[in-house]
Chain A
Amino acid sequence: MAERWGLPIVAWPRRLRPNYWDGIALPIVIGAIILAGWASQQMTMPYQVGQALPISLDPRALPGYGARTVLRMVAALVASLIFSLGYAAIAAKSKRAEKLLIPILDILQSVPILGFLSITVTGFIALFPGSLLGYECAAIFAIFTSQAWNMTFSLYQSFIGVPMDLREAARMYHLTPWQSFWRLEVPYAMPQLTWNMMMSVSGGWFFVVAAEAISVAGHDVKLPGIGSYIAVAIEQRNLAAVFYAILAMLVLILIYDQLLFRPLLAWSQKFKVEAIGGDEVEPPWFLVMLQKARLFALAEGAIDRLRMALSRARRALPPMPRMAPSSGRAMGAHGRWIDYLWNAALLALALYAAWQVVAFVRGEVTIHEFLHVLFLGFVTLIRVVVLIALAAIVWVPIGVWIGLRPNLAHRVQPIVQFLAAFPANLFFPVAVFLIVRFQLSVEIWVSPLMILGTQWYILFNVIGGTMALPTDYQYVAGNFGVTRWLWWRRLILPAIFPAFVTGAVTASGGSWNASIVSEVVRWGNTTLIATGIGAYIAQQTEAGDFPRLTLGVAVLCIYVLVLNRLLWRRLYLLAEERLRLD
């Protein structure tokens, strides 16, 4: 090892001497370490069920709450990342595992985990008795479930899409599967993963607000955080406190965006395989600091050494299977039999699980109630479809208008991204306040809440789709006098269709999930309940009625899956097949 320590890196070369950027970097790093330490210490406090956790509505308490909320987000993100890497790698490496893992993931994506929160809490409390950690874990788990699936899908897609020539080069130059995972597959997946991570975290803010105030078997537990702060503000009908919370969340998301995602997005550009110059973005200040501050160069050297050491240690372990989607792999009759057996086993497992669910629910629920729940699902379905249509009518023209003005669009895009990240549930009390104040119809006016947070995906994608339209097409349209309705019908609508579908799918999925928190809303003692499957699930959660809760969640899942299969997937295929610009 002696010769390794003799390398120039320890000789304090010029590139490692401190500079100005270190002046900014050092306090930020130390501050972050102290904050993380404090917040995680708070997490493991001893705690007994029923003990009250006082939440102060004093705005000065908000930074502390904010820090703990952020820590939950970070924990969930790290957990999601680890989970995704493992799950996606297994799904991409084993054809047999893939058959099971990918459909499961598809279902998980559409399951409203919010409905299961109270069930998971019980499990986590049992894991850490007498400590707050169980509740923390349950909240983190809820955020995790809102983030992980989408990231896993993105990773899996990237893993199986690694170009054949790069794969062959990796093998030809003797990269071990482990090396090729970290040097080829993960970097290749990076740009898409970063993007999906950003989307996931946007969704996560919504869930962290919903998951901090948990009720288990009649006990309300409010984990200190912004979500609990707003829950208490709602109980006490304190409108000022609601606005403080909104403000605090604004600042938090801004910090997250500046410190994590802007740098990450800019940095991940370098992993793009076919990056063409031109859409280069101004590097965000935080990334510049990371790259320029000598402090981080030191850390980088250390990481590099750690990687080498790990890689060496890895050699001692059994080899990892290689990702090789070799289509022409000769599989003998033997292998085929194992395949049949495996498929049969999967089928048996699925039937057994379905049987168990039916048995669990059947004992409690009559066929009449089942039909009623189906009806409730239908009501929510109508809401979702109408809302998406309304959002399209509003946002498509606006999005096109913005997208045709690239300068404006570049300024608007980050704002829309920010709006998408903002947890819409913070605004619910305001809406309830207004509905009560003006005596509006609950059935109708609660509905917009469902799409409050997710409509931005439509706007966002429409802007993107319009910007991607080559200017030539617009010139052609102008040249031949294609205007007004014809211009929309023959040029713009087909051109933005694929982008619109992507946005609408995201918005629709988010709306289903949001129905659980938006069909029942409170303001102090006032509770507004709309007819719908979301309200049903929320009520059963509160009552702790697991069979009915299961029924509600299952029905909601079925609706989501059917809508996805019958509508969105078809539109998606249509967009893919016919309306792609290339």
Chain B
Amino acid sequence: MADDGFLIAAERVSKTYQAPDHAGRLVLDHIDFALKEGEIVAILGKSGSGKSTFLRVLAGLTPASEGKIVYRGHPVTQPVRGIAMVFQTFALFPWLTVLGNVELGLEALGVPRAERRERALKAIDVIGLDGFESAYPKELSGGMRQRVGFARALVVNPDILLLDEPFSALDVLTAETLRGDLQDLWIDRRVPTKGIILVSHNIEEAVEMADRIIVFGSDPGCIRADIAVTLPRPRDWASASFRQIVDQVYGLLTTTPQGTIGRRARGDAGADPAVGIGYRLPNASIQQLTGLIEALCLPPYSGRADLPHIAESTQISDEDMFVLVEAMQVLGFASAAGGDIEATAAGRAFADADILHRKQLFAEHLVKSVPLVAHIRKVLDERPGHQAPEGRFVAELEDHLSEEEAQRVLETVINWGRYAELFAYDYDRGTLSLENP
């Protein structure tokens, strides 16, 4: 059996992505983690917090840069028997039937044909796919496809099941059913699996399923909180104790350890703004942002709302909500604490304004609170012809962010800047300018 009763453990695991021309970017920072036998652990975090990367390090799909993963006393450096994974995108082989997909893992292990067939049929039966053995994945709905994903994982009798946002590509009802079925299998001990790690960005889902919730902080990914969930199963989403945990987690995910949003720009620690040039601007859509501020300032909230509540009533996913809340805080339109959000005076003014006035307010706050925008304006003002290639700003951002992230941040800034009419952007030539056609 595993030492110390742990199934799998991460010991001071760090992960650095090596960019070709400059220093590495830290995505996981000294993570200590252990999964006990009989436990379901959920890992929650904003997108980009490295939670999926961490799951891949645990799975042996990508090596840790520092530290190690230990499974049953052996270090994990590549995928090992006993650990199976279910993917967000299902990752089924489209040219294999349901049966073929489920048998694949057994075939690779060299299980004889007859036994393979028998075990696969049993797994298909357990997961409720009876009658679909000969169907190709493209014939199935998303929910049924993910069932194949689960059957493929369970058929190899894994000790540990790694779930990478397995329900996030499904509609709400389908996800609920599948989640329920999985919990039934787990509670009734109909699968030999001894531990489950679930990566998710849906807080309710995590509170419903997990015995323990690990909250990841961003930039770099680290463990911010480890919350035990001891509610009896089956868990009632509406119960006060359930809501209380949801609120607590929401609070953690919409604030930073310092209580301010954003992170300190590397190198100038102690400088006053928490948001530097290299700040990873949340890619909030202006439409959603406007809609959310409006909803927040109208009754029943009238300026103050419980985050899970407003998320549900506006039908904004948790993942989008984190992004929007961060954007609102950065712009000074709202503040969040303890799972609640409250509109500031500026936020209320924004909600009351007409379209043109909104743009003005937005522009003011954008220049004031996002240094990158102020920087772009300054460059454009100073340059003869008042234009500059986007490449120069991407290059500057790449000093702080990965190539992809730099691109994404600039795209967001361009989007916001265009809305605020602070600068124009020519797609064909890839230039930013002050002129407005």
Contact = CB atoms under 8 A, between A and B. Distances in A.
A175 interface: yes
A323 to B, nearest CB: 14
A270 interface: yes
A54 to B, nearest CB: 50
A173 B105 contact: yes
Interface residues of A, number: 35
A3 interface: yes
B108 A165 contact: no
A3 B114 contact: yes
B105 A174 contact: yes
Contact of A275 (B18, B56, B91, B94): B94
A524 interface: no
Contact of B79 (A7, A171, A312, A326): A171
B62 A172 contact: no
A179 interface: yes
A165 B94 contact: no
A273 B65 contact: no
B59 A172 contact: yes
A165 B87 contact: yes
A329 interface: yes
A142 to B, nearest CB: 34
Nearest to A8: B114
A179 B65 contact: no
A174 B108 contact: yes
Nearest to B83: A172
A440 B165 CA distance: 72
A173 B138 contact: no
Contacts of A371: none
A329 B81 CA distance: 24
B79 A169 contact: no
A176 B94 contact: no
Given A165-B87, A326-B62, A7 B108 contact: no
Interface string A157-194: 00000010110110111111001000110010010000
Contacts of B91: 163, 165-166, 168-169
B65 A187 contact: no
Contacts of A166: 91, 93
Given A171-B79, A172-B61, A328-B62, 6 more contacts: A7-B113, A169-B93, A173-B84, A179-B108, A273-B94, A331-B18
B112 interface: yes
Contacts of B107: 179
A172 B84 contact: yes
B87 A168 contact: yes
B156 interface: yes
Nearest to A187: B95
Contacts of B16: 330
Interface in B53-71: 56, 59, 61-63, 65
Instruction: Give the most central of A7, A327, A331: most B CB within 10 Å.
Output: A327
A578 interface: yes
A213 to B, nearest CB: 43
A174 B112 contact: no
Contacts of B323: none
A96 interface: no
Contacts of A272: 94
B271 interface: no
A174 B109 contact: yes
B367 interface: no
Given A173-B105, A175-B108, A326-B62, A270 B136 contact: yes
A174 B79 CA distance: 7
A329 B20 CA distance: 10
B150 to A, nearest CB: 13
A116 interface: no
A334 interface: no
A271 interface: yes
A328 B17 contact: yes
A4 interface: yes
Contact of B93 (A171, A187, A328): A187
Nearest to A176: B108
Contacts of B89: 163, 165
Contacts of A312: 110
Nearest to A305: B113
Contacts of A179: 107-108
A171 to B, nearest CB: 5
B388 interface: no
Interface string B100-138: 000011011110111000000000000000000000101
A7 B112 CA distance: 11
B152 A173 contact: yes
Contacts of A330: 16, 18, 24, 63, 65
A172 B79 contact: yes
A416 to B, nearest CB: 29
A79 B16 CA distance: 44
A168 B61 contact: yes
A168 B114 contact: no
Contact of A3 (B59, B112, B138): B112
